[in-house]
């Protein structure tokens, strides 16, 4: 039994109002994998990198017990590279460079040892690659979580709608929920999207938290107000990794467990943004995570007696 995460393992170069980095390790599967590794011990990645990625960088993942057998290394190839600059409000950013490199021909391969996959996170990739991955699994996983973005709604909407039919949980932001559904009200948007296939919808609202819709219920998760947000890169991926990692750990899919999973995802995302790249996510302790969970509990709790 394992948790498989499909997504990019890549280099990022990031500029924020607080500084800038050279090429550092990034990619959705890196952030999600690291986040999940704190909650579940059988995390397996599927990705593609170039020879430039280097053993030291792969060791970052391996040292967290993450299985990288499914991370294909293309001989002579260059890893996916993204560079972006965040504006002063940290909520918007400009992409400076996108070099797909080996990602352009990504043909996801599933090692035999991954066929025990019970939980799968399909990170933000072309809907076609997401679909291919699912079709190559011998057994249908217990839980399929899919992350996507507005870009795929613009250029591959039909493919996206096709893969959504096989998805249990979709995670997108509020603008994307509105785009995908054509509804402004998030309640109406959620109702429309839940007709497309997913049983649960998570609407990510960044500093405003997240909403979970499903089973005729709704849950509003807070975001932890932070004094310093250094770098939002990877926050959504850390969230998704923490979310599915928690569910893999507790083994039971229910609305209540999804709520808790969102809190764990939010806690990991809140750590992620406090340093550049995945630096903070590489060095957490169980106590760090427990402390932050307690902060979320205090943040949201109220008791009204009749």
Q: Min. distance of Cβ 264 from a second copy in angstroms?
A: 8
Site string for a second copy, 171-210 (x = CB under 8 A): -------------xxxxx-x--------------x-xxx-
Q: Min. distance of Cβ 84 from a second copy in angstroms?
A: 19
Three-state secondary structure call for residue 138? coil
134 Cβ contact list (under 8 Å, min separation 6): 120, 122, 144, 163, 166
Q: Min. distance of Cβ 180 from a second copy in angstroms?
A: 16
Say if CB 54 and CB 60 are below 8 A apart.
no
In the range 84-103, which residues lie near a second copy by CB under 8 A?
88-90
Q: Which two tokens stand for residue 25?
A: 């390790």
Q: How far apart are alpha carbons 119 and 1 in whole angstroms?
A: 8
Interface with a second copy (CB under 8 A), residue from 103, 117, 229, 269: 229
For position 227 contacting a second copy by CB under 8 A, the verdict is: yes
Contact window for a second copy (CB under 8 A) among 108-116, 147-155, 163-171, 212-220? 212-220
Q: How far apart are alpha carbons 123 and 237 in whole angstroms?
A: 8
Nearest to 78 by CA among 59, 58, 103, 61: 103
290 Cβ contact list (under 8 Å, min separation 6): none
Contact window for a second copy (CB under 8 A) among 104-112, 123-131, 233-241, 252-260? 252-260
Q: What is the CA radius of gyration of the chain?
A: 18
Q: How far apart are alpha carbons 306 and 287 in whole angstroms?
A: 36
Q: Min. distance of Cβ 202 from a second copy in angstroms?
A: 13
Measured from the CB atom, is 22 or 303 closer to a second copy? Answer: 303
Strands 24-26 and 93-99 come out as unpaired
For position 287 contacting a second copy by CB under 8 A, the verdict is: no
For position 260 contacting a second copy by CB under 8 A, the verdict is: yes
Q: Which residues bind a second copy (CB under 8 A)?
A: 88-90, 184-188, 190, 205, 207-209, 211, 217-223, 225-229, 256, 259-260, 262-263, 290, 293, 297-304, 306
């Amino acid at each position: 039994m394992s948790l498989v995460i499909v997504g990019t393992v890549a280099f990022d170069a990031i500029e924020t109002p607080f500084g800038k980095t050279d090429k550092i390790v990034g990619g959705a599967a890196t952030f999600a994998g690291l986040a999940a590794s704190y909650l579940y011990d059988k995390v397996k990645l599927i990705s593609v990198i170039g020879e430039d990625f280097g053993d030291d960088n792969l060791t970052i993942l391996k040292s967290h017990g993450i299985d990288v057998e499914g991370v294909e290394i293309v001989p002579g190839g260059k890893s996916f590279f993204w560079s972006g600059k965040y504006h002063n409000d940290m909520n918007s950013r400009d992409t400076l460079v996108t070099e797909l490199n080996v990602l352009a021909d990504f043909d996801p391969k599933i090692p035999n040892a991954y066929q025990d996959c019970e939980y799968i996170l399909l990170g933000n990739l072309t809907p076609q690659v997401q679909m291919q991955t699912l079709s190559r699994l011998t057994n249908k996983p217990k839980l399929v979580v899919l992350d996507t973005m507005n870009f795929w709604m613009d250029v591959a909407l039909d493919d996206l709608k096709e893969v959504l039919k096989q998805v249990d949980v979709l995670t997108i932001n509020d603008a994307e929920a509105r785009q995908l559904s054509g509804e402004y009200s998030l309640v109406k948007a959620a109702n429309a999207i839940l007709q497309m296939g997913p049983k649960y919808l998570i609407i990510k609202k960044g500093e405003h938290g997240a909403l979970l819709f499903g089973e005729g219920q709704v849950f509003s998760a807070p975001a932890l107000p932070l004094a310093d947000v250094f770098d939002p890169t990877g926050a959504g991926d850390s969230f998704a990794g923490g979310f599915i990692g928690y569910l893999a750990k507790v083994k039971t899919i229910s609305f209540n467990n999804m709520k808790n999973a969102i809190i764990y995802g939010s806690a990991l995302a809140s750590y992620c943004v406090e340093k550049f790249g995945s630096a903070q996510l590489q060095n957490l302790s169980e106590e760090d995570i427990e402390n932050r969970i307690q902060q979320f509990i205090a943040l949201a709790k109220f008791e009204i007696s009749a």
